[in-house]
Structure formats: structure tokens, C-alpha cells
Amino acid sequence: MKAVRVHELGGPEVLRYEQSTDPRPTADEVLVKIEAAGVNFLDIYYRSGLHWGGHHRRSLPYIPGAEAAGSVVEVGADVRNVKIGDRVAYGISNGYGSYAEFFAVPSWHLFKLPNSISCQTAAAVMLQGMTAHYLTHSTYAVKPNDTVLVHAAAGGTGLLLVQMAKMRGARVIGTVSSAAKARLARDAGADETIDYSENDFAAEVRRLTEGKGVNVVYDSVGKATFEKSLDSLAPLGALVIFGQASGPVPPFDTAVLNAKGSLSLSRPSLTHNVASQADVGWRAGDLIQWIEAGKLKVNIGATFSLADAAKAHHEMESRRSVGKILLIPE
């Protein structure tokens, strides 16, 4: 099969489109013919070496990609939840292998798609959608009348976070980097947007909330926004860091959390929030039902051929992208 492989860590140029060994499913795996694969910052973290220690380490060369959708072409002997011909999708935190024509997936990760949902839509929502779901429903369960700050509100996860927070009755403030991205965030339901390239977002949050601050900040940026995210919180507020697009947060004195209002800080991951087939069924099931009902809109910002994976990574790292980026095998 054709696949994108990484032989050495580095920039987008290390992504090589080449021939690779066809995967074979074990007894509890399913072979999926991939029709669309999602591109995520997680893939960039691995490729660049930012996430490469402990359980993140894998043997080189490896095939990137943590989510995709397609059709089942072979099932292992012990698989009971899907059959050949089913259309399925998956999103696996710490996953790899999806930048390819085929991938052998542990069957419990799979969600069977209804006919109403395309593979491109499913591939665009699985990892980021389940991430937004656990952030708003579990890590900090958004309540009616909460005020929420979403960083990178026009990105793939950001747009989903905005919509889910609004579904749960919150007022949503989103940070963006351009007027075009502000429009996207507002179209998704954001009540206010802040262009962080022109404004001090913490000062703007205080202005918009009459000095009170927000109940929760969902932050995928990390190092560049950390301090001012804390400054944006109301007393007893929660900072949830679920990514580090600008780099990891440096060590800090936890007494600062007390001094700024008995704040809480968490660094969750999808791994521990989608740890069973029941978790997949709940979170992915909600996503698909909301999409079918028109309550959740999925923004696919760009599609690239699988052979152009390096261009897709350049686009994501440039900060020009909005919505979801997909790779399409030829």
C-alpha cells in the first residue's frame, strides 16, 4: 500500500509518501480501507519530536495519523461489533497509522457510521470532536450561564468547543488572529471574539465580563497564553490546557493558583477520557446525533491528497488554516 512515513524527526519535509507493508489485522483488529484521514497538531508534535518520550515513543520509521474514516475490508477472528462492508470512523489519542491507504484498528475504537454521515465529515470530527466533548462534559462540565474562553476559536477543535459550550447554555468568548477567523467563530456561536494579535486578551476578557473573569479557559496554545489565561479567570475558575501549539508551559509555582483566586489547573488527554468501547459509543454517538440533527456543524477547511501530507502540515503550522484539514488517499 501507499503511505506517508517518518524516518527521522523534523519538519514537514520528513513526511515521505512511499510504498509500505500492507497491515494485517490481529484477532481483535479490523482492517479499514481509509477514505479520509484527519490532520491534527498531535501528528506535528510526534513528527517534530515534541512528544517523543515515554509512551509517546515509537520505532522509526512510523506512519503518522490518529483518526480516519473508511470501510471495513477484513475483520479479526474475535471481532463482533462490526462486519465487512461497514463504514466506520475512529480517533485514537497517541495513535498513529492513519496516513495510509489501509490501517488495522483495534475494534473497540471503531464507531459505525450511519448512511447520513460521509467519511470526510466523520474523519473531521472524531478526534477533535471527542476532545471537545470530554472537555465540556467531563474535565470542566460547562453549566448554564457560565462564561467560557476558548483559545484558537476558529480552529478545528475551537469551533467544536464553541458550539458545545453554547449547547450547554454558556456565554462564549473566543480568541482569534484575524477578522476572517472572528467571523467563523461567531458563525459557530461565539458571543464575542478577541483578536489576540491586536489586543491583550486578558484585559479584553476583564472588560467584557465587567472585571469578573471567566469560569473556564480551554487552552490548546500552551506557553504563549498560559499567564494571561490565568489572569482571565474568575475566582475558583479552571484553566484546562489540552495542547501546546506554542510549546510546553514551563515549570511554575503552584502557589500562584491560590494567589489568583483558588484557581484549578488540569492537563487532560483523550487517552484517559476515551478508554473503552462505552466511552467511544457515548462521545462519538453524541457527535453523530448532533450532526444529524443540525446542532453541530463540522467545518472542513482544506483537503490534500495523501501524497501532499507535507503541504498539509505546512498549512496547519502556518496558522493560516481554519477548520479541519483532511488527507485523501488516491
Taken in order of first residue, the domains within the chain and their CATH numbers are 2-127+275-328 (3.90.180.10), 144-267 (3.40.50.720)
Which of 57-61, 152-156, 181-185 has the largest mean confidence?
Answer: 181-185
Q: What band does 56 get if pLDDT is binned at 50, 70 and 90? A: low
Q: How far is residue 140's CA from residue 278's CA, in Å, rounded to a whole number?
A: 20
Q: Which helix (H) or strand (E) holds 206?
A: helix 201-208
Which pLDDT belongs to residue 318? 87
User: Per the structure block, which three cell numbers stand in for 125?
Assistant: 470530527
DSSP sequence for 257-324: HHHTTS-EEE---HHHHS-SHHHHHHHHHHHHHHHHTTSS---EEEEEEGGGHHHHHHHHHTT---BE
Is 54 a residue whose pLDDT tops 60? no
- Render pLDDT for 108-147 as a digit per residue (tens, 0 to 9): 999 999 999 999 999 999 999 999 999 999 999 999 999 9
Alpha helices for 67-200 (secondary structure H): 119-134, 156-167, 179-187
Q: What is the mean pLDDT of residues 99-116?
A: 97
Residue 235, preceding bond cis, omega within 30 degrees?
no
Which pLDDT belongs to residue 57? 64
Q: Mean pLDDT across the chain, nearest whole number? A: 95
**Coil, strand, or helix at residue 35?**
strand
Q: What is the mean pLDDT of residues 185-204?
A: 96
Higher-confidence position of 323 and 291: 291
User: Per the structure block, which three cell numbers stand in for 175?
Assistant: 480568541
